[in-house]
Structure 1
Amino acid sequence: MTSAHEHITHHGGSHGHHQEHDDSGQAEILDLDAEVLAEHIASITAWLPLKAEPRRIVDLGCGTGAGTFALLERFPEVHVTAVDASVGHLQLLREKACARGVSDRVRTVQADLDTSPWPDLGAPDLVWASASMHHLAHPGRALRGVYELLAPGGLFAVVELDGFPRFLPADAPEGRPGLEERAHSETDSLHAEHVPHRGADWGPMLAAAGFTVEDERTITVHIEGDRSEAVGRYAHRSLRRIRGAAASALGPEDLAALDELLDVDSPHSILRRDDLAVRTERTVWAARRA
């Protein structure tokens, strides 16, 4: 599951110095997301209503490989074609595949899914798209592309999230309670303009593209911070990116409180808190090509 964390910036675009820096920041969050939510990703792959074990899978918007590696583990004989717009993410995915000894079961393809025609991705039995479809400017066209791509009877799994995970209690931090929600509110406004399909109901759009939606499931995620030290790093990196997007809209007191949370040397750093938790929701649609 890529993405299984919302990206602040849109997929695609130029690959200059700024893009490379942004890819690096996204990659770190995607890796932390994969580490912290590993059990939930595995539960989704186990839930998929497959009629037979797939032999060929395409992971659309694969990021750094959370979904790719979960699927490789779930299906020991499968080959995965991992597709993403980011050259940097794909390079990291290939390095991980080599380190895990599965490079012979992974093919990477750099592609912008808003362009057409798509490169040759074979005829997969399963297409997996986690936190990637809502980034597309023309999702209806992409859904029809997936329908044509799938082998007859193949399954399309769309995993989407309701927004950025929350980490802090509602009464935190001391002196500026509700700070996290206010920061999210500002970034939500930004996304409503630039990523209008986030939070969409993909069922009707899948049906319009010709799919039969066989099942839908919403997973509520609540992971206490004491279960993994990675939760603190995940919270820190996520709030740091949100600060970059929301800084101009936050008041000076909120901005100062946020900066104190992000200051790793501060006694009030988010890395020193013992009340963190990862709270989010993911919805999965399982749609079949007739």
Structure 2
Amino acid sequence: MSQAHQHTSQHGHHQEHGTGDQTEILDLDAEVLAEHTAAITAWLPLKTAPSRILDLGCGTGAGTFALLDRFPGAHITAVDASVEHLQRLREKACARGVDDRVHTAQADLDSRWPDLGSPDLVWASASMHHMAHPDRILRNVHDTLAPGGLFAVVELAGFPRFLPEGAPGYRPGLEARCHAAADRFHTEHLPNRGADWGPMLAAAGFTIEGERSIPVNIEGSRGEAIGRYALAGLQRIRGVAADALSAEDLAALDRLLDTDGPDSILRRDDLGVRTERTVWAARRP
């Protein structure tokens, strides 16, 4: 959403068990989409700079550090279910010299809602669609926010796409079919993925102050990070879509994922990142 969201989302596998591959893809998500995350924080319709921020489903800190950069006077509480993600976030905070402005809290928000103070801004990037009871979470956020405070919900429109049209040449259309299979999986297991959060936010008592869709279209980059991001993203798609793919598509996908093979995605110089982020800005009256 992580920012990440996406990829079982991206920063939003945040309500799942933390693993090394999730940590890597969240870090890559933060790196590759940094400009887009910064653009969202700059767009937020805030009346004054927030001093207390809450990052729900923070992952390894893509949103946390973007918000700290945007609001240098703020302190932030970063919440995630994964101990591993929070440890990585703390390491980054120490390396950046901002550990005195960051507090972490480990919690599965579907199970319990901890005391999180009374923040001026709540940020949830690629995490809300993982909540089993989003209506309850939205009400909790509403009641936690200071009066007049802002809630920013950011969601990524599924897994990013990385390959150019018609690639790979030996199996055209492979990525589209992989996405379709992954989408069917997520429709069953994550019913709020791709949801319109506006009506749900309004039902929870918020006033919607803005909604914006921001296309992500990073083309023609030979950057190592994008190659690793594509590898991690397609590995994650394979994890949820393998059973639904034909034997030919699965074999073609594995050729891309074989980092030692001649067709490895890491060897390609034509990768891009294409997706879309939507942000809803909702105020507690």
- Give, in whole Å, the separation in 1 of the partners of 2:195 and 2:259: 36
How far does residue 115 in structure 1 lie from its aligned partner after superposition? 1.9
1:114 pairs with one of 110, 117, 137: 110
1:67-124 per-position Cα deviation (integer Å, ceiling 9, x unaligned): 00000111111000000011110010011101111100000001111123x1111100
Superposition TM-score, scaled by structure 1 size: 0.94
Q: 2:212 corresponds to which letter in structure 1?
A: R
1:163 pairs with one of 151, 158, 164: 158
Query: Following TM superposition, where does structure 1 have runs of at least 4 consecutive aligned residues deviating by more than 6 angstroms?
Result: none
Q: 1:282 corresponds to which letter in structure 2?
A: R
- Give, in whole Å, the separation in 1 of the partners of 2:162 and 2:181: 17
- Give, in whole Å, the separation in 1 of the partners of 2:4 and 2:151: 17
- Give, in whole Å, the separation in 1 of the partners of 2:156 and 2:240: 19
Which residue matches 1:215? 210
Q: Does 1:203 align with 2:223?
A: no
Stretch of structure 1 that moved more, 276-285 or 182-191: 182-191
SS in 2 for 1:226: coil
Which residue matches 2:120? 125
Superposition TM-score, scaled by structure 2 size: 0.96
How many residues of Structure 1 are paired with residues of Structure 2 in the alignment? Answer: 282
How far does residue 8 in structure 1 lie from its aligned partner after superposition? 2.8
Which residue matches 1:5? 5
How far does residue 3 in structure 1 lie from its aligned partner after superposition? 3.4
Which residue matches 1:134? 129
1:81–1:106 contact (8 Å) kept in structure 2: yes
1:262 pairs with one of 229, 232, 257: 257
Q: Does 1:173 align with 2:206?
A: no
2:83 pairs with one of 84, 87, 91: 87
Q: 1:65 corresponds to which letter in structure 2?
A: G
Stretch of structure 1 that moved more, 246-255 or 202-211: 246-255
Gaps of 5+ in 1: 14-18
Which residue matches 1:242? 237
- Give, in whole Å, the separation in 1 of the partners of 2:116 and 2:15: 19
How far does residue 256 in structure 1 lie from its aligned partner after superposition? 1.2
Gaps of 5+ in 2: none
Identity in percent? 73
How far does residue 125 in structure 1 lie from its aligned partner after superposition? 0.3
SS in 2 for 1:80: strand
Q: CA RMSD in A?
A: 1.4
